[in-house]
Amino acid sequence: MSKVILQVEDLRSYFFTRKGVVKAVDGISFYVDEGETFGIVGESACGKTVTALSILRLLPEPGGKIVSGKIILDGTNLVELSKKEMRKYRGKMISMILQDPMTSLNPVYTIGDQIAESVRLHQGLRGEMVEQEVISALRLLKIPSPEVILRQYPFQMSGGMRQRVVGAIAMSCRPRLLIADEPTTALDATIQAQYMALFKDVQKKTNVAIIYITHDFGVIAQMCHRVAVMYAGKIVETATTRELFKAPKHPYTSALINSVPRLDRKDARLYSIEGQPPSLMDLPPGCRFAPRCPVVKPVCREQEPPEVGIGYGHSVSCWRAK
């Protein structure tokens, strides 16, 4: 039996702005097992990154705030930790890979210095042990000639290699949970595929739990064991990846899956979802997808659909789901 490493319960993260309250994450629950890759998928601005930043307790201040809910990592509720205590968890227990590797790397330090800093800080190693650990982090991410690479600067490397270095830094503290937020969008298709394969390998070797954030169902299919579909600050459906593709129950999930171009069918049309998601400052009553839903019924516009389990870990929030 695998062990739950992260349990998020009814998390709400809002931004308090001059124009109003942005309900970026509005009551989401999910769990992630050790050694599992859990995908979070959804259109732009649905709350994926805010979910990640909430888990890391790195919401932009002063506007962003976790207003309620629990984030339980290996038995500890992160929401209750002080900033100082949280700093210990970040890096040691959880780390994150962002979309653009250049923003994560410091241009004026060598790769080796940047990984060494993380190793000293989070593992408390000193002297020769540090260089050994830096090399093993570079090896884990299959970076060729690590002894040479560690003396290079970020600008001397290709985009794909830089993203591997970011992965090496993230893994150098031996985290239990890694959050990857659209880590491959800046890469071309071949490098993207290599990077995803690499992370599967890293996971096999370390048993790290991964939350993989993307708007791309193709990436979900390749990377994730289970997946949550987000829409306007809520999770509308959660299932194993296989089940979600085979039998999606939420109209939004079906629309997203149908909008993935199919290579096996020449006649496949690109299905796009009409309309725009609602403003997170001014949400409609009832189901948030109702204004765009092709199978909306009267109750949908009045009452929010509850989340219901339909077996085998599949759950959905829709009045039509059975």
Beta strands 4-17 and 20-33, pairing class:
antiparallel
Contact 24, 15 (CB under 8 A): yes
Q: Which of 182, 164, 174, 236 is nearest to 207 (CA)?
A: 174
- Residue 320 binds which of Mg ion, ligand SF4, ligand ATP, none (CB < 5-8 A, kind-dependent): ligand SF4
Q: Which of residues 253-272 bind Mg ion (CB under 5 A)?
A: none
**Which of 161-198 are b and which e, b meaning 16 or more Cβ less than 10 Å from the residue's Cβ?**
bbbbbbbbbbbbbbbbbbbbbbbbebbeeebbeebbeb
- Residue 300 binds which of Mg ion, ligand ATP, ligand SF4, none (CB < 5-8 A, kind-dependent): ligand SF4
Beta strands 307-309 and 315-317, pairing class:
antiparallel
Beta strands 37-41 and 4-17, pairing class:
unpaired
Each residue 47-66 as x (binds ligand ATP by CB under 6 A) or -, in order, gives xxxx---------x--xx--
Amino acid present at 224 = C
Q: Is 170 among the residues that bind ligand ATP (CB under 6 A)?
A: no
How many angstroms separate the CA atoms of 74 and 225, rounded?
20
Q: Is 15 among the residues that bind ligand SF4 (CB under 6 A)?
A: no
Nearest approach in angstroms of CB 213 to Mg ion is 7
Q: Which of residues 13-42 bind ligand ATP (CB under 6 A)?
A: 15, 17, 22, 24, 42
Q: Looking at beta carbons only, is 111 or 256 nearer to ligand ATP?
A: 256
Identify the residue among 49, 104, 114, 241 touching Mg ion (CB under 5 A). Answer: 49
Q: Is 186 among the residues that bind ligand ATP (CB under 6 A)?
A: no
Binding site for ligand SF4 (CB under 6 A): 250-251, 287, 289-290, 293, 295-297, 300, 305, 318-320
Binding site for ligand ATP (CB under 6 A): 15, 17, 22, 24, 42, 44-50, 60, 63-64, 215, 280
